Structure 1
Amino acid sequence: MRQLTEEELRDAIANATDDELRVFASPLDFVLTDWDHLDFLAWRDPRNRGRGYLVGEIDGRPVGVVMRAAEGSSRAGAAFCNVCRTMQPADQVSLFSARKAGAAGARGDSVGTYLCTDLSCHENVRLAAPLAPSEVRTSVDARIDGTRQRAEAFIERVVEAARTGA
């Protein structure tokens, strides 16, 4: 991922309201970000843990979404992240929803997916071995590529309505 300034990061958020942009908070360690090793940038808002952000490169430009983490926890023992496809303890995976961009979002339409609670998917796939024995064993490069593609696909689902004018 190419290096972004805080202003570019804020401008990339496609589904944010004016109020959300006003309280936008970049990651606390933003200045230390190792851009050469990022496939996408994801972080929890340091001032509001219920909010998260996901920014990827779509068609060569940064596009991001603001997300809300569901409150509460699952009673299940384990849960599956839909982006990095790792099985983890249930309290380490959360349902995140993002209001669609444009008119669809204004009508209340949203998209949701299960993500690592700390949004560390880009780190989890770099582990040499899968986190659970039941996971599909593929090369680390294939896992990284798949994670990037799924993160970008989620972003595209959030912004697609605004592109088509729906």
Structure 2
Amino acid sequence: MKPLTENEIRASFVNASRREAKQAPLPRHLETLGDRWEELDLLGWVDSSNPQRAYAVVPVDDEPVGFLLRTAQRTRKASAMCAWCEDAFATNEVSLFVARRAGAAGRDGNSLGTLVHADFSCSAHVRRMPNGMEGGLDPLALVDRRVAELRARSSAFARRVRDGS
């Protein structure tokens, strides 16, 4: 992912009013990312003052598409697979997030949901080396495939939010 400034992040939000984008808290670690932007396929964070609200910025056709998300209160613990990274081993901290669609569809109340790691750690999950159960002759090729699939799934979700369809 290419590095983003505060202004680029705020301008990327497609399903937020200007006020919501201006008031959105930015991730605490934004200034310390440095060279680690290359290790990110998406930027996601939870609002520390309101854990029911989260934000994500995903590259779509080399342009950042940001969106606001809501998560339901957790009433029971259940394991689930993240729909973006599809890591079958990291299933404990996956939450249902819902994004209001952009434009008229969102104003009409239409939204889109997905199961994602609660801390948006998908980039780290796809970059871990395969274990013995995943096998394969070329572990680096498997990691590259996981990265490509994460990018494809997360950008497909971002497109659907942005395009309202």
Q: 2:10 touches 2:22 (CA, 8 Å); kept in 1?
A: no
Paired positions, count = 159
Q: Is the 8 A contact 1:12 1:62 kept in 2?
A: yes
Rounded to whole Å, the distance in 1 between the matches of 2:72 and 2:127 is 26
State whether residues 125 and 143 of structure 1, in contact with CA within 8 Å, keep that contact through their aligned partners in structure 2.
yes
The residue that corresponds to 1:47 in the other structure is 49
Q: Structure 1: how far apart are the matches of 2:144 and 2:92?
A: 27
Q: Which deviates the most, 109-118 or 58-67?
A: 58-67
Aligned-residue offset at 1:75: 5.0
- Equivalent residue for 2:72, pick from 70, 73, 76: 70
Map Cα deviations across residues 102-125 of structure 1 (whole Å, 9 max, x no partner): 000000000000001111111111
Cross-structure match for 2:150:
147
Q: Distance in 1 between matches of 2:135 and 2:126?
A: 12
Task: Look up the match of 2:7.
Answer: 7
Q: TM-score, normalised by structure 2?
A: 0.86
Distance 1:144 1:124 in 2: 9
* Cα RMSD (Å): 2.3
Further displaced range: 39-48 or 88-97:
88-97
Which residue number corresponds to residue 92 of structure 1? 93
Give the Cα–Cα distance (whole angstroms) in 2 for the partners of residues 153 and 11 of structure 1: 20
| Alpha-carbon distance between aligned partners in 2 of 1:136 and 1:50, rounded to the nearest angstrom | 38
Structure 1 unpaired stretches of 5+ = none
Q: Secondary structure at the match of 1:64?
A: strand
Q: Taking structure 1 as reference, are residues 71 and 88 closer, same or farther at Cα in structure 2, changes over 3 Å only?
A: farther
